[in-house]
Structure formats: structure tokens, C-alpha cells
Amino acid sequence: MIKLRSLLLLALLFSGCGQKAVDPIAGSWIDLTHDFGDDTIYWVTAEPFKRTTVAEGKTGKGYYYSAYNYSAAEHGGTHLDAPVHFAEGKKAADQIELSNLIGTAIKIDVSAKASADRDYLITVDDIKEWENANGKIPEWSIILLQTGFASRWPDKKSYLGTDQKGPDAVKDLHFPGLHPDAAKWLIENRKFKAVGIDTASIDYGQSTEFAAHVTLMTNNIPAFENVGDMSKLPAKGFQIFAFPMKIKGGSGGPLRIAALILEK
């Protein structure tokens, strides 16, 4: 039923038939995407977002016209990690099925623990604690992990642990992530579409082996990173729509992600 409602919603949202669109399903939309601009946070070794002006202003014919060029690394701001990012031969950004980017979602909130320990690793016990309170994670859900770090955006030092750039800054990264054992447990015990987190990486800042990435992506599970403020989301009962830039062969790309909380 949820899958059918999602498909109906998409069809109705994108079909106007020349008339004003009306949302047939009552609910609240929450944008989970950080803006892309001069202050957007990128990995310390990545090229940041840059925008240059091609044209901006009134033309000689009297109408206003603006156009811009932009450049950036695939991995920065709110973005997708495609499986090929950490798993040879797995799906690239353009190969991920839309059905893996849309669907029922749940939120596991560890923000209190991450506030006390900025290197906190989300554990199997955290997942089981969520299930004890909310029931088993529904099959083929999108799993969102809330650490509360979105509230630190766009302060690079507070968010990443450092405001420095380059390879020497990697050692100073401090932010929460998913424990590799928890990633392995999810793969072995639950069926799910994707994982998202409100930090710069699914693996915590001090990771050197990126084992959570490897575990998920070897199994063709994409990740959403630098997701925006999840504080208004319930623990369950909402839909996620996550559309990345469709870069052919890409290891990731900018992501527009939003939640729809359906009214009962």
C-alpha cells in the first residue's frame, strides 16, 4: 500500500495537465538539503563549490537575463555516495534505480550520544533500541541516522572538527558515523534501500579504513551524506525522495533530498 501511494503521489505531483497542481495526499514536506554556495562544506581534500557569473542584468532588448557557471567535487554539500565510490564494479550514480531513492523511511536518533562524544559510532544496540521502541525496521526502508550535527552547518570547525584544508587536515576530522559492525549487521539481518546521515561521511571522522562504506557499497547500498536537519522528522511514518545529479559513471553527486510526512 505504501509503495502504491508513493507511486500515485509522484504521478500526481508531476502531472498538471495544464492546471494548477494539487497535492492529493495531505502531508508536510521537509527539505533535508543544504544550499550549495560559498560556505558549503566539502571534504577537506575536495574542490569546493564555485560559481562564476556569465551574465546578470538587463539586456539591450530590455529583458532581464542571468546565467552562471559552477564547478565542484562530486562529494560535498548534501550529496550521494554511489556504491562504486568504495566498491569496484558496483553501481555508479546514473545506474541506481529510482526505486532505491524513493520510499518509506525511518530515523534513528543518536543526537544526545553524539553531543556528548563527537566521535560517536552508531552501534547495533542503537538500532535494536530503535526497534524495541518502534518495531522491526520495515523491509526496503531508507534508514536515516540523526546525530544532530546538521545544526552545526555551515561552521566547518564545529561540523568537521577542523576548518583546515588539504591532506594534513584529514587527521583532525572528528564527527560521528556508523560503526562497521552495525553496517554489517544491517546487511546480514535487514533489507533496506539506502542509508543517510547528517555528517560528512557514513564512517566517522577518524576512520582510516572506511569499513562501513565498504560493507554497504559492496552490497550496492548507496549513502546520502551531509543530510540537513532531521529534527522535525518522526521516528517512522514518512517518505523520502532523494534525487542526485545523474552523472554518467559518477561515484556520487549533489543530492536534493526531501521528506514527506503523511497525515493519517
pLDDT score for 264: 66
Q: What is the pLDDT at residue 21?
A: 45
Query: What are the DSSP calls for the chain, one per residue?
Result: -HHHHHHHHHHHHT--TTS----SS-EEEEE--PPPSTT--B-TTSPPPEEEEEEEEE-TTS-EEEEEEEE--SSBSSEEE-GGGTSTTS--GGGS-GGGTEEEEEEEE-HHHHHH-TT-EE-HHHHHHHHHHH-SPPTTEEEEEE-SGGGGTT-HHHHHS----SGGGGGG----EE-HHHHHHHHHH--EEEEEESSS-SS-TT-SS-HHHHHHHHTT--EEES----TTS-SSSEEEEEEE---TT-SEEEEEEEEEEE--
pLDDT of residue 214: 98
Per-residue pLDDT of the chain (264 residues; tens, 9 = 90+): 445 455 545 544 443 444 444 455 568 999 999 999 999 999 999 999 999 999 999 999 999 999 999 999 999 999 999 999 999 999 999 999 999 999 999 999 999 999 999 999 999 999 999 999 999 999 999 999 999 999 999 999 999 999 999 999 999 999 999 999 999 999 999 999 999 999 999 999 999 999 999 999 999 999 999 999 999 999 999 999 999 999 999 999 999 999 999 876
CA-CA-CA-CA torsion sign (27, 107, 40, 244): negative
pLDDT at position 25, please?
58
pTM: 0.90
* pLDDT score, position 263: 74
The structural domains of the chain, ordered by start, are: 2-262 (3.50.30.50)
